[in-house]
Chain A
Amino acid sequence: MAAKTKQLAHLFDATQCISCGACILACSQTNFPEMMNRNIPGTNLPASNIKVYRSETNRPVNLLVQCQQCENAPCVKTCPFGANYYDENGLVRNDPSKCVGCNYCIASCPYDARWSHPDSGLPVKCISEGCMKLIQDGQQPACVQACPAEARLFGDVLDPKSEISQKIASCRTELLMPNKGTKPNFYVVVSK
């Protein structure tokens, strides 16, 4: 495989997020318009690729989590037919034509970032089709567009000039669940 030239990644600024939920709704509206008045079966979750995690072992924290676009993704490793793959931008994508809906990738994602779409049986995750179109159009994904608190960035972390790279360089960021060996591409700003 040729050396990677691009790695798209999300950044979530925990110091800026005020937990308004706009990104969650924007995700839902952009990617799952058919699910607007339905929740993910068996859960109270709206059809969105973002979940809210809270904890207060130390200082109370609020994290909004979505697929980490792992460089070493368990979901890719476990899929029998290679339906999950890395694309040229370093995103982990799903090819529906190869997917049988076994949900193995859902169970194997350490970030619980996937869910099974009740209509298609596909294991959806960020980045879904609606956002993929946005990105291909040279735009930002829906959740990044929606955030009223400037808490989200999306871009190429291999390009040192990108906004996301600069933010990572200037702030203290952390990666989630590093112990799982997934090499995630989701940066959480923990202090400015």
Chain B
Amino acid sequence: MKGGAVAASMAAAPALNNWAFAKKIEKLEKEGWTKHPVACTMCGAFCGLLAMRKDGEPLSEHSVRIFPNPGHPQQGYCGRSAAAMWVWNHPLRLRKPLKRVGEKGAGQFEEVTWDEALNDIAARLKDIVQKNGASSVVSTSHSFSGYSKWLTFPLGSPNNIGHQSSCNAGGIAGRNLVFGKGFDGAGKMEPDYANLRYLILIGRSMGASMGALHTLNQARANGAKVVSIDPRMPDIAYGDADWVAIRPGTDGAFVASLINEMITQGTADLSFIEKHTNGAYLIKEDGQPLTQSDICSNGSKSMYVVMDSKGNISFRGLKKNEKGIVVGFDEDPAFKADLNAGSTVKLADGTSIPVKSAFVLVKEKMAEYTPEKTSEITGIPAGTIRRIAKEFADFKGVIDDGWYSSKNGTDVQLYQLISIANAINGNIDAKGGLVVTAGAGLKVPSVSAGKGPNGETWKMAPEKRIDKIVYPDAAGTFKVALEAAATGKPYPVKAAFFVGTTMFHREANSQKLADHLKKLELCVVQDVLPQEIVDYADYVLPATYFLERKDISGVKWALDGSIYLSDPQLTPPKDCDARHDVWILLEILRRAFPERAERVGYKECKTAEEFNQYFNAFAQRGYDKLVADCEKAVPGWGKQICEDMATKGWSTIKPKVYDVYPYKKPFGTPSGKAEIYSFKSLSNPACSKAVSPITGYVPAPAYTAPKPNSNEFVLVSGKNCQTCSGLNMFTEPTRYLGDRTVWINPEDAARLGIKNHEIVEIEGIDTKAKGRAAVTVTKKVIPGAVFAFGFSGGVRTKNLLDPNYQFVKEGINSHWFATGYAQPFFGNVANNCSVRINKVRG
């Protein structure tokens, strides 16, 4: 077959909403199957699925079938969710509590009863807390930090620290610089996937969240174009998305160049920039914004100064109510500020100083990045950069604000630039742009630091969350806690609880991770499968997974504010003693400190049913309140929500309203505008040291740069649509669908005399670690870089891997070679690294 040439022509819109499976579901229902909505966590995307269950038949892989939930705002289903039932009774599933009997790391265990395990853990926890204080106990998770906190917070420890440093912390920090607090978190700002016309994906594979991809497909069916900027070709480019190869870590230059092109070609949205960004705000020579207080003696420090082309000035700031809450802008809407202002202003003390608009500073900074120079840095032809810049402006496109962003140790600057580029294109919160998603407003009573779900309060340990001491703006940099286990600094950590997180596939620098894990006095792992981390655990506790528990929550990542019910009503297979993660944690807490368990109203629950009653009541309370509020607001609405939940498993509460931020309501930045020149960076010396108000390209500080045209490469990783998640890595279909090879470009392979499928040795340039893997010689990776999927093999669990599942050991885990470098102040870790590829002799 000839490779399909991409026709840019608009497609005859295929019918997207006549889901074939909807018919099938109806049919099954008629045949006595019942339908149960599920929020999928086969990966971290929480898509909407349906579990169809044949009633009256014993629970098995055959009597439960997984389907997409038709019409769900994040309609799911992919290779991983399809394999959900392959996990349920997986031959390797953890079935009984295990107690370590050998050395730490040796992976020798004996089965113990729940009582033995919980009592012993509780006794050791109590001892540790009495000797070192509550803050020496830490917990972490990926998708279940809402669970892991049920131990640490009621115990009094602030240290429930998430996975963000190796996931989205860079994106959060970058958005924070441009859009501010409240607009930086996961899913808060998203491309309007359904309605966009042109999407640039930078290091975003879309091989993840099927919900988002499904939504995007509506836009693609209407002719939207997708461009992927990535060192390797992601699967979406098999279709009609364009792949533009870029050298790893050089994305900053690419985005800077887009901005430069738009400014120099006059395609930047100047009116948006003038009105809705801080582009017109005057900046002093020291980089600080000029404020009213500089000019008038009693002026406000938070009123900024703009100037028109005639030299008249005006102030812009935020309107606050009596409680100090921001309610709108304080500015003269008729004033037309000059974006290119650059002159002198007279200060209150009579002196004159030169000032420039923020836009001019941005323009000057970006001017370096001509397409030609950028081409040298990035490897993208200058013509392609020009073309993308033009299309981006012509179609009023959007650059995806990313998800997994922990790559090169310069990710904060990159996502700052990406956010700025979207603002320069004036495509913020508009239909088809980068928009603020609507929340559903569901509040489920839960535990937080010092506060219980029923209004209880208590005093927390006096220490600050440990990662925040080292990285003040950390969204969650768990490695600080493990370093503290080894060094005792900034304060000692003795016990760690790992609730549903692989750690070895999550965190960079495996050797350090292993060393630090061994230093823990108490290490507890709650999981479903024998991930490598179990070998370092004192206790491995079998947990239930998403098909075995109930949940009500807000739909994640979606445009509209919706809520979902996840209630598949499965129980673990017969001989599997798995329990709910929160039960495990609360039972440990109760056995150690019964009075602290009571801080969250927890008393002993012997059976799973008892516990579910206790725990599910919180979600029910939140839900009931939401329903009651809605019913009060519009009679009949509450009833509608209940009906939706009962029939579909989801309900949309707040449809997205476009064109609000920052047109009518301010962003969370100091100026309330989209800040193309970050004032936050200037507000704190540590922050300004870590990141400037506007930055261009910074070479990756996280790893030694490989020598060009040698056997040295940057190793990048990512995920795909079929496999690549902690749970899915072990399922049978992964044997075939999983790619456990290292990709290398044919040019590089030829130079090194490496053939397709040959086994090579991979050696970390910085960590010296070594591993072996088969190579795939492919044009799908740029010369000078090699690629390996994350969560795809390289599992080194010693004794719990069945001979039939040795395939999970094949290949490498890129973290063996990564340094674990974290960006100062923000704490986001770099997972990319540099390696040597050596031929294996013999």
- Docked Cα-Cα span, A25 to B11, in Å, equals 29
Given A14-B238, A148-B68, 18 new contacts (CB under 8 A): A15-B240, A16-B217, A17-B239, A18-B239, A20-B235, A22-B81, A26-B82, A36-B61, A46-B733, A58-B3, A61-B1, A61-B4, A146-B21, A146-B82, A149-B217, A171-B11, A171-B12, A192-B240
CB contacts between A and B, total, < 8 Å = 171
B206 within 8 A of A: yes
1/0 contact trace for A4-44 toward B, CB 8 Å?
00000000011111111110111011000100111100001
1/0 contact trace for A42-84 toward B, CB 8 Å?
0011100000100011111111000000000000000000000
Residue ID in chain A nearest B86 by CB atoms = A36
Tell whether, in the assembled complex, residue A140 and residue B733 are in contact, meaning their CB atoms are under 8 Å apart: no
A191 within 8 A of B: yes
Residue ID in chain A nearest B746 by CB atoms = A56
Whole-angstrom distance from the CB of A154 to the nearest CB of chain B? 8
B75 within 8 A of A: yes
Residues of A contacting B67 in the complex (Cβ-Cβ under 8 angstroms): 145
Select the stretch in B119-127, B207-215, B454-462 that faces chain A: B207-215
Can you list 24 A-B contacts with CB-CB less than 8 angstroms, sorted by A residue number?
A16-B239, A17-B238, A18-B721, A20-B721, A21-B723, A22-B81, A24-B79, A37-B732, A46-B733, A56-B778, A57-B3, A59-B4, A62-B238, A140-B23, A145-B19, A145-B20, A148-B210, A148-B213, A150-B14, A151-B239, A163-B15, A166-B12, A191-B240, A192-B7
Residues of B contacting A139 in the complex (Cβ-Cβ under 8 angstroms): 20, 23-24, 27
Tell whether, in the assembled complex, residue B239 and residue A14 are in contact, meaning their CB atoms are under 8 Å apart: yes
CB proximity to A under 8 Å, residues B750-793: 778-780
Whole-angstrom distance from the CB of B733 to the nearest CB of chain A? 5
- Docked Cα-Cα span, A130 to B757, in Å, equals 36
1/0 contact trace for B56-79 toward A, CB 8 Å?
000001100101100000011111
A residues adjacent to B (C-beta < 8 A): 13-22, 24-26, 28-29, 33, 36-39, 44-46, 52, 56-63, 134, 137, 139-140, 144-146, 148-151, 163, 166-167, 170-172, 174, 176, 188-192
Whole-angstrom distance from the CB of B174 to the nearest CB of chain A? 26
Tell whether, in the assembled complex, residue A22 and residue B82 are in contact, meaning their CB atoms are under 8 Å apart: yes
Tell whether, in the assembled complex, residue A19 and residue B720 are in contact, meaning their CB atoms are under 8 Å apart: yes
Tell whether, in the assembled complex, residue B7 and residue A191 are in contact, meaning their CB atoms are under 8 Å apart: yes
Tell whether, in the assembled complex, residue A63 and residue B82 are in contact, meaning their CB atoms are under 8 Å apart: no
B382 within 8 A of A: no
Residues of B contacting A137 in the complex (Cβ-Cβ under 8 angstroms): 27
Whole-angstrom distance from the CB of B544 to the nearest CB of chain A? 21
Residues of B contacting A33 in the complex (Cβ-Cβ under 8 angstroms): 61-62
B722 within 8 A of A: yes
- Docked Cα-Cα span, A5 to B240, in Å, equals 34
B737 within 8 A of A: yes
Whole-angstrom distance from the CB of B609 to the nearest CB of chain A? 29
B91 within 8 A of A: yes
CB proximity to A under 8 Å, residues B271-297: none
- Docked Cα-Cα span, A68 to B27, in Å, equals 27
Whole-angstrom distance from the CB of B9 to the nearest CB of chain A? 7
Top 6 A-B residue pairs of the complex, sorted by shortest distance between their CB atoms: A190-B4, A21-B79, A20-B721, A58-B3, A59-B3, A140-B20
Residues of A contacting B240 in the complex (Cβ-Cβ under 8 angstroms): 15-16, 191-192
Interface centre among A26, A150, A170, A190 (most CB of B within 10 A): A150
Interface centre among B11, B75, B780 (most CB of A within 10 A): B11
Residues of A contacting B236 in the complex (Cβ-Cβ under 8 angstroms): 18
1/0 contact trace for B79-98 toward A, CB 8 Å?
10111011000010000000
Residue ID in chain A nearest B211 by CB atoms = A148
Given contacts A24-B733, A37-B86, contact A144 B20 (CB under 8 A): yes
Given contacts A18-B207, A37-B91, contact A188 B23 (CB under 8 A): no
Residues of A contacting B82 in the complex (Cβ-Cβ under 8 angstroms): 21-22, 25-26, 29, 146
Residues of B contacting A46 in the complex (Cβ-Cβ under 8 angstroms): 732-733, 735-737
Residue ID in chain A nearest B26 by CB atoms = A139
- Docked Cα-Cα span, A25 to B84, in Å, equals 10
Given contacts A15-B239, A146-B21, contact A22 B736 (CB under 8 A): no
1/0 contact trace for B731-748 toward A, CB 8 Å?
011011100000000000
B633 within 8 A of A: no
Residue ID in chain A nearest B807 by CB atoms = A44
B6 within 8 A of A: yes
Across the interface, B2 reaches (CB within 8 A) one of A16, A151, A174, namely A174
Tell whether, in the assembled complex, residue B736 and residue A18 are in contact, meaning their CB atoms are under 8 Å apart: no
Whole-angstrom distance from the CB of A54 to the nearest CB of chain B? 9
Given contacts A15-B240, A176-B1, contact A145 B721 (CB under 8 A): no
Given contacts A26-B82, A148-B68, contact A192 B11 (CB under 8 A): yes
Interface size band for B: 35 or more
CB proximity to A under 8 Å, residues B209-227: 210, 213-214, 217, 220-221
1/0 contact trace for B1-40 toward A, CB 8 Å?
1111111010110111001110110010000000000000
Residues of B contacting A134 in the complex (Cβ-Cβ under 8 angstroms): 24
Tell whether, in the assembled complex, residue A140 and residue B77 are in contact, meaning their CB atoms are under 8 Å apart: no
Given contacts A18-B207, A25-B83, A45-B736, contact A172 B24 (CB under 8 A): no
Given contacts A20-B79, A21-B722, contact A148 B12 (CB under 8 A): no
Tell whether, in the assembled complex, residue A58 and residue B2 are in contact, meaning their CB atoms are under 8 Å apart: yes
Across the interface, A39 reaches (CB within 8 A) one of B15, B20, B27, B735, namely B735
Residue ID in chain B nearest A169 by CB atoms = B12
Residues of B contacting A172 in the complex (Cβ-Cβ under 8 angstroms): 4, 7
B233 within 8 A of A: yes
Tell whether, in the assembled complex, residue A56 and residue B779 are in contact, meaning their CB atoms are under 8 Å apart: yes
Across the interface, A22 reaches (CB within 8 A) one of B2, B20, B78, namely B78
Residues of A contacting B86 in the complex (Cβ-Cβ under 8 angstroms): 36-37
Tell whether, in the assembled complex, residue B7 and residue A36 are in contact, meaning their CB atoms are under 8 Å apart: no
Across the interface, B736 reaches (CB within 8 A) one of A39, A146, A148, A166, namely A39
Whole-angstrom distance from the CB of A184 to the nearest CB of chain B? 12
Whole-angstrom distance from the CB of A134 to the nearest CB of chain B? 7
Residues of B contacting A24 in the complex (Cβ-Cβ under 8 angstroms): 79, 733, 737
Whole-angstrom distance from the CB of B744 to the nearest CB of chain A? 13
Residues of A contacting B11 in the complex (Cβ-Cβ under 8 angstroms): 170-171, 192
Tell whether, in the assembled complex, residue A145 and residue B24 are in contact, meaning their CB atoms are under 8 Å apart: yes
- Docked Cα-Cα span, A145 to B91, in Å, equals 28
Tell whether, in the assembled complex, residue A190 and residue B2 are in contact, meaning their CB atoms are under 8 Å apart: yes
- Docked Cα-Cα span, A19 to B233, in Å, equals 13
Tell whether, in the assembled complex, residue B24 and residue A19 are in contact, meaning their CB atoms are under 8 Å apart: no
- Docked Cα-Cα span, A164 to B75, in Å, equals 24
Interface centre among A22, A189, A190 (most CB of B within 10 A): A22
Residues of A contacting B14 in the complex (Cβ-Cβ under 8 angstroms): 150, 167
Residue ID in chain B nearest A140 by CB atoms = B20
Tell whether, in the assembled complex, residue A191 and residue B4 are in contact, meaning their CB atoms are under 8 Å apart: yes
CB proximity to A under 8 Å, residues B376-433: none
- Docked Cα-Cα span, A105 to B729, in Å, equals 35
Residues of A contacting B217 in the complex (Cβ-Cβ under 8 angstroms): 16, 149-150
Residues of A contacting B77 in the complex (Cβ-Cβ under 8 angstroms): 22, 146, 148
Tell whether, in the assembled complex, residue B23 and residue A19 are in contact, meaning their CB atoms are under 8 Å apart: no
Whole-angstrom distance from the CB of A156 to the nearest CB of chain B? 15
Residues of B contacting A26 in the complex (Cβ-Cβ under 8 angstroms): 82
- Docked Cα-Cα span, A33 to B502, in Å, equals 30
Residues of A contacting B91 in the complex (Cβ-Cβ under 8 angstroms): 37
Tell whether, in the assembled complex, residue B21 and residue A145 are in contact, meaning their CB atoms are under 8 Å apart: yes
Residues of A contacting B4 in the complex (Cβ-Cβ under 8 angstroms): 14-15, 59, 61, 172, 174, 189-191
Residues of A contacting B76 in the complex (Cβ-Cβ under 8 angstroms): 148
Given contacts A15-B239, A20-B721, contact A63 B733 (CB under 8 A): no
Given contacts A20-B721, A26-B82, contact A170 B12 (CB under 8 A): yes
Across the interface, B721 reaches (CB within 8 A) one of A16, A21, A60, A176, namely A21
Across the interface, A148 reaches (CB within 8 A) one of B78, B221, B723, namely B78
Given contacts A15-B240, A24-B733, A61-B238, contact A188 B1 (CB under 8 A): yes
Across the interface, A62 reaches (CB within 8 A) one of B21, B235, B736, namely B235
- Docked Cα-Cα span, A20 to B236, in Å, equals 10
Tell whether, in the assembled complex, residue A19 and residue B721 are in contact, meaning their CB atoms are under 8 Å apart: yes
Tell whether, in the assembled complex, residue B721 and residue A191 are in contact, meaning their CB atoms are under 8 Å apart: no
